[in-house]
């Protein structure tokens, strides 16, 4: 068992180094440091779907002010992009580690989250669907290059990603599978194409529902795009043959400007957030226009190594029932 675990650990380091180096090259990113916690009440922490609890704690040296473990660095990165004076067409890349206590335990979910967070400076006129798609293709090419490198180092793993990623809007997906749930729609399209980018996550569909939740103050999911739909964001999803299901690798998008920020906050009845520090910077045109996202490190490694459980590629907290089931199924949790 221990030799198997050690082999996995070595493979994890290989994949992470290979992927992050290639991603930096593809997107012109510079690797930087990042925080594990930020002060509460500033609007900087990612609210995810808007309902998840955060890990909060008082800081003695700051007169007991509350700090929170980051959920992601979606907003912090945009601040840092401006502070570092990153030129247009270039960006930053960092390792994000977080604790999400409201995550349910599943083979692909843990309370521990690790991802590559990246952010890239773009011009106002580049807030377009074509720019979004171009960046998606570069990330996907990084995935393919990494998978080929893994297969060369570990011949038992055969490349399965298609040459091209397929783009589809959430509304198109709804029209194609009108009687299916959002997750089943994702499963069907991922199985058909192998790799897809689903556009417009967070915006309301013709059914009156949303495909999936997305916070209203970082991704732009409401602007009209050149395909005749709405949204300049989305998720990269691949087909996972081990789990026989859809498998989200990345969430990303062009960030809100002041117009879309107000529109999306109003739509979610959250206009009180306009008083927060981060939101004030956007409303006063003091932040760089950008595109960015998060790419799950454990998710990526799980896919590349064809593992059945995320606990095989990360060290986390698991209930006894999960540990016992893993033993019965021959799954080696780290």
The residues annotated with a catalytic role in the active site are 46, 100, 115, 235, 248, 251
**Closest to 189 in 3D by CA, of 253, 248, 130:** 248
Q: Which residues contact 211 (CB under 8 A, 6 or more apart)?
A: 170, 173, 174, 182, 185, 198, 200, 201, 202, 203, 205
Transcribe 15-41 into DSSP letters. HHHHHHHHHHHHHTEEE----SEEETT
Cα separation, 118 vs 73, in Å, equals 9
Cα separation, 165 vs 227, in Å, equals 17
Strands 65-69 and 233-240: unpaired
End-to-end CA distance of the chain: 10
Helix H or strand E encompassing 56: strand 56-59
To which residue do tokens 């990360």 refer? Answer: 314
**Closest to 230 in 3D by CA, of 264, 266, 188, 276:** 264
Q: To 5 degrees, how large is the angle CA 99–CA 101–CA 106?
A: 95
Q: Do 70 and 96 touch, CB atoms closer than 8 A? A: yes
Dihedral angle sign, alpha carbons of residues 192, 193, 195, 201: negative
Q: Which residues of 84-94 are buried (b: 16+ CB within 10 A; e: fewer)?
A: eebeeeebbbb
Q: Do 258 and 283 touch, CB atoms closer than 8 A? A: yes
**Closest to 198 in 3D by CA, of 158, 250, 155, 159:** 250
């Amino acid at each position: 068992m221990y030799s198997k675990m050690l082999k996995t650990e070595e493979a994890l380091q290989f994949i992470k180094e290979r992927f992050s180096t290639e991603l930096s090259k593809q997107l012109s990113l510079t690797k930087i440091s990042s925080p594990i916690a930020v002060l509460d009440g500033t609007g900087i922490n990612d609210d995810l779907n808007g309902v998840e609890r955060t890990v909060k704690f008082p800081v003695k040296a700051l007169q007991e002010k509350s700090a929170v473990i980051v959920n992601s660095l979606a907003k912090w990165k945009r601040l840092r992009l401006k502070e570092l004076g990153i030129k247009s067409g270039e960006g930053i890349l960092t390792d994000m580690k977080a604790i999400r206590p409201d995550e349910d335990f599943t083979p692909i979910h843990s309370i521990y989250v690790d991802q590559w967070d990246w952010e890239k400076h773009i011009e106002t006129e580049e807030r377009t669907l074509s720019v979004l798609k171009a960046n998606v293709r570069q990330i996907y090419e990084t995935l393919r290059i990494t998978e080929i490198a893994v297969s060369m180092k570990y011949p038992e793993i055969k490349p399965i990603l298609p040459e091209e990623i397929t783009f589809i809007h959430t509304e198109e997906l709804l029209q194609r599978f009108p009687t299916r749930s959002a997750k089943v729609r994702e499963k069907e399209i991922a199985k058909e194409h192998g790799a897809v980018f689903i556009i417009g996550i967070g915006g309301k569909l013709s059914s009156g529902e949303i495909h999936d939740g997305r916070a209203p103050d970082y991704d732009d999911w409401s602007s009209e795009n050149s395909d005749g739909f709405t949204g300049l964001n989305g998720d990269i999803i691949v087909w996972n043959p081990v789990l026989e299901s859809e498998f989200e690798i990345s969430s990303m998008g062009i960030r809100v400007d002041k117009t879309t920020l107000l529109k999306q906050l109003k739509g979610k009845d959250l206009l009180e957030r306009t008083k927060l520090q981060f939101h004030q910077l956007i409303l006063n045109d003091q932040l760089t226009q950008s595109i960015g996202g998060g790419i799950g490190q454990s998710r990526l490694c799980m896919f590349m190594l064809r593992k059945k459980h995320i606990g095989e590629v990360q060290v986390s907290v698991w209930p006894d029932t999960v540990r016992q089931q893993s033993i019965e199924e021959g799954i080696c949790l780290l």
